[in-house]
Chains A and B, each alone.
Chain A
Amino acid sequence: MARISLNALRHAYGPVRSDADYALKQIDLTWDDGGAYALLGPSGCGKSTLLNIISGLLVPTEGQILFGDRDVTRASPTERNIAQVFQFPVIYDTMTVYDNLAFPLRNRRLPEDRVDARVREIAAMLELDRDLTRRAAGLTPDAKQKISMGRGLVREDVNVIMFDEPLTVIDPHLKWKLRSKLKELHQRTRVTMIYVTHDQTEALTFADRVVVMQDGVVVQVGTPVELFEEPRHTFVGHFIGSPGMNVLPAEVSGGVARVAGHPVLDAPVIPAARRLEVGVRPEFVGFGTTGLPARVVRVADVGKARVVETRVGDTRVLAVVGEGQPVPDGDAHLVFDPARTALFADGWRVDAKGAAA
């Protein structure tokens, strides 16, 4: 097992004429040994490309991958000692569950008594021990996906196990079971795991640290709490959370950020940026007697709360109001929780020193 470092990775699938031709623009990342990571982003953001580069199914156009101190940029998947679980369960149809799990070990010529011990240990962990003698082809998709995971876990020397949207074909009501099983497996084995998904719940639930990608760039690496409470980029604020963060055009003057002419936030320094915005999550928008003037246009009762759609000028601002709290009719004043409101310059969060993060 080893720490995995990605240095100045860039990748393009075709000839490069401009920066836009890169599917991965510039990736510098370190994955610590034994961590539980998620790679989160919308489809087409480059997360699958990055995954295939780490697993060795793809050689990057530029840059370097290190496993520990060893440069594996051009090494094959077998040489890297990695495991991967695919979107659709890959199982060897004609083999029993036992033989499926034993397959990677037998290929590496492990003595049969070691194989047996390992297979039984992992099968017990995955709760597959009662199915060992059954043909894998006859199992349900979630059991098949567990076998795919098992073939990765069974190898003791594995550097990292990667999951490429592994719950796509799993029945919705079984998803959380498999998700929590995965989390438990990570805690028991402490193998580095990288989980690629476009689903925020899967990413935040599984990972200790989440890498959010957009358009071939990493926009934030952080814990689930950091991503929710302190998004470094408007994309993170928008992508994580349902509904996502409100992003309002702003201007800064006299140490104050204003939305539609109304002061909403202290901004000691004016950043030199083409586009200034104020971001605040709907959960941190309330109603008051003074504040940003707005118009309530729609209230959706979602049971445990109400989602209130308002307009500030032409800009849509959502507020989430808890059960039993009043919602004004028509004209209203919005109040932003100052601790949870931030200024963004060209998309990036401006911290207290005024520099864009």
Chain B
Amino acid sequence: MKTENQRAWFLVAPVVLLVAFNALVPLMTVVNYSVQETFGNNQFFWSGLKWFEEILTSERFQAALGRQLFFTFTILIIQIPLGIIIALAMPRRGIWVPVCLVLMSLPLLIPWNVVGAMWNIFALPDIGLLGYFLNQVVGIDYNYTRDPVAAWITLIAMDVWHWTSLVVLLTYAGLVSIPDAYYQAAKIDGASPWAVFRYIQLPKLSRVLTIAVLLRFMDSFMIYTEVSVLTGGGPGNSTTLLSIDLVKIALGQFDLGPAAAMSLIYFLITLAVSWVFYTVMTRNEGK
């Protein structure tokens, strides 16, 4: 089979090349920028780890990172349990199954900038359905363009609306794969519905939930488009997440060095957390 093995390399080669051009080359460009300084005119000077030090100690970065972590943590805390509850409530068989699945998939099919624009208009206090309703009917003073708390609530509501479906679909797939015998055995053992959830469904879902958390972590940690369209990071800097800040520095101020250093730090955080998830998952598999 030695000959086959070598032939296989030819088949893999295009992918290797593609990955190299797609990921490695730009990454190296970023690394290159992150250790140099430029004053325009395409002139670069070696600056060592200065940018990294500057970014890591800057209050601005720390605040953006804090907001980012708060955002990710909040949406995980809401979306994972909510997703599980919705998946548990969905019918397991019958004609309503496809209807539910299609309804659940809809938010996932809408382009990200459209989601941002939708919620932008939907929540406007004067003409948006939600904004108008809250202000005029319920009587709350709600204006996400002015009030940081309202901006955060809108932001989180939007993300929950957009992404909970993903958790639902993953969980649902996990639920339907549990053999009937488990439910029958639980019935015979006299288990309560809570015990069925705690000792059968949750353990059997653990793998799929780990994947859901991982996906939601990565996506929410790198969220840009929807926030940019909805609030643009405002009011003030109140919803300026890491990605928004990065774009401000890189494109707004054209500080390529700090922006590159920040990108790398950002990238390393995402990589580290994903790696932790990966090891946890594979260790569970080994058992």
Contacts and interface: CB of A to CB of B under 8 A. Distances in A.
Interface of A: 55, 57, 76-78, 82-84, 86-88, 90, 92-95, 103-104, 107-108, 135, 137-138, 148, 151-152
Interface in B176-190: 179, 181-182, 184-185, 187-190
Contact of A92 (B187, B190, B203): B203
B191 interface: yes
Contacts of B182: 90
B42 interface: no
B181 A86 contact: yes
Given A88-B181, A92-B199, A55 B191 contact: no
Interface string B186-227: 011111100100011001100000000000000000000000
Q: Does more than half of chain A's interface fall in helix, strand or loop, or is it mixed?
A: mixed
A84 B185 contact: yes
Contacts of A138: 287
Given A92-B199, A93-B204, A137-B287, A103 B181 contact: no
A-B pairs, top 6 by smallest CB distance, nearest first, are: A107-B190, A90-B185, A86-B181, A104-B189, A92-B199, A93-B203
Given A92-B200, A92-B203, A57 B190 contact: no
Contacts of A137: 287
Contact of A103 (B184, B189, B203, B287): B189
Contacts of B191: 103, 107
Contacts of A94: 199, 203
A137 B207 CA distance: 15
User: DSSP majority for the B interface?
Assistant: helix
Contacts of B195: 103, 107
Contact of B187 (A76, A135, A148, A151): A76
Nearest to B199: A92
A108 B203 contact: no
A57 B184 contact: yes
B181 A151 contact: no
Contacts of B190: 78, 104, 107-108
A139 to B, nearest CB: 12
Contacts of B187: 57, 76-78
B188 A84 contact: yes
B181 A87 contact: yes
Nearest to B191: A107
A145 to B, nearest CB: 12
Contacts of A95: 199
A97 B45 CA distance: 66
B188 A55 contact: yes
Given A84-B185, A95-B199, A107-B189, 17 more contacts: A55-B184, A55-B188, A57-B184, A77-B184, A77-B187, A77-B188, A78-B188, A84-B188, A86-B181, A86-B185, A87-B181, A93-B203, A103-B189, A104-B189, A108-B190, A137-B287, A152-B188
A148 B185 contact: yes
Contact of B181 (A82, A90, A92, A93): A90
A55 B147 CA distance: 61
Contacts of B184: 55, 57, 77, 84, 86
Contacts of A87: 181
Contacts of B204: 93
Contacts of B179: 88, 90
A284 B19 CA distance: 75
A88 B179 CA distance: 9
Q: Which of A82, A107, A138 has most B Cβ within 10 Å? A: A107
Nearest to A82: B188
Contacts of B188: 55, 77-78, 82-84, 104, 152
B28 to A, nearest CB: 45
A152 B199 CA distance: 18
B199 to A, nearest CB: 5
A94 B195 CA distance: 12
B17 to A, nearest CB: 43
Contacts of B181: 86-88, 90
A107 B192 contact: yes
30 contacts: A55-B184, A55-B188, A77-B184, A77-B187, A78-B187, A78-B190, A82-B188, A84-B184, A84-B185, A84-B188, A86-B184, A86-B185, A87-B181, A88-B179, A90-B185, A92-B203, A93-B203, A93-B204, A94-B203, A95-B199, A103-B189, A103-B199, A104-B188, A104-B190, A107-B190, A135-B287, A137-B287, A138-B287, A148-B185, A151-B189
A55 B181 CA distance: 13
A252 B125 CA distance: 98
Name, among A88, A90, A104, the residue most crowded by chain B CB atoms within 10 Å (CB to CB). A90
Q: Which of B181, B185, B188, B200 has the most chain A CB atoms inside 10 A of its CB? A: B188
A288 to B, nearest CB: 54
A88 B185 CA distance: 11
Nearest to A151: B189
Contacts of B185: 84, 86, 90, 148, 151
Nearest to B187: A77
A76 B184 CA distance: 11
Nearest to B181: A86
A57 B187 CA distance: 9
A191 to B, nearest CB: 14
Nearest to B188: A77
Most chain B CB inside 10 Å of its own CB: which residue of A104, A138, A148: A104
Nearest to A99: B199
Nearest to B204: A93
Contacts of B199: 92, 94-95, 103
A88 B191 CA distance: 19
A82 to B, nearest CB: 7
Nearest to B198: A94
